[in-house]
């Protein structure tokens, strides 16, 4: 299933609409990394609100996605992890270490505004 990716100013928002297969997750990862380059996006939000299960492959793919986008110069935040999903992930030892998370889309946008503003205004080395 194709995940819609919306452009909102300098940000991209990928809102997952239903459970994704492993192939769908990899397609989402590749599409987001490509669109960050195409649109020169400063931030990405991945909304996982509808997911009621997150297995080890999904966790690893999301973590990899965040690191790939970071290497392209953008910031990513995962929003909408349901309480039951968070509980199960902790019980299974699945982590999103090094990945920014937020409660919902509104907090995710606020996080990106704060993070990318600071990043843009910081002096560059070299």
Q: What is the DSSP letter of 102?
A: E
Q: What residues contact residue 68 under an 8 Å CB cut-off, 6+ apart?
A: 29, 33
The angle at the Cα of 57, spanning 63 to 104, to the nearest 5 degrees, equals 50
CB 36 within 8 A of CB 44: yes
The Cα–Cα gap between 37 and 43 comes to 11
pLDDT tens, position by position, for the chain (126 residues)?
689 999 999 999 999 999 999 999 999 999 999 999 999 999 999 999 999 999 999 999 999 999 999 999 999 999 999 999 999 999 999 988 889 999 999 999 999 999 998 654 444 454
Where are the chain's structural domains?
Answer: 5-119
| CATH classification (class only), 5-119 | alpha beta
pTM, 2 dp: 0.90
């Amino acid at each position: 299933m194709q995940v819609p990716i919306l452009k909102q100013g300098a940000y991209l928002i990928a809102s997952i609409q239903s459970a994704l297969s492993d192939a769908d997750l990899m397609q989402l990862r590749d599409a987001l990394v490509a669109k960050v380059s195409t649109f020169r996006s400063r931030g990405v939000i991945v909304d996982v609100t509808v997911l009621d299960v997150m297995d080890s492959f999904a966790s690893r793919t999301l973590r990899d996605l965040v690191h790939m986008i970071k290497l392209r110069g953008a910031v990513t935040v995962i929003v909408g992890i349901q309480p039951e999903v968070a509980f199960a992930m902790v019980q299974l030892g699945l982590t999103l270490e090094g990945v920014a998370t937020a409660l919902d889309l509104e907090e995710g946008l606020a996080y990106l505004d704060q993070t990318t503003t600071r990043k843009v205004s910081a002096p560059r080395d070299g």
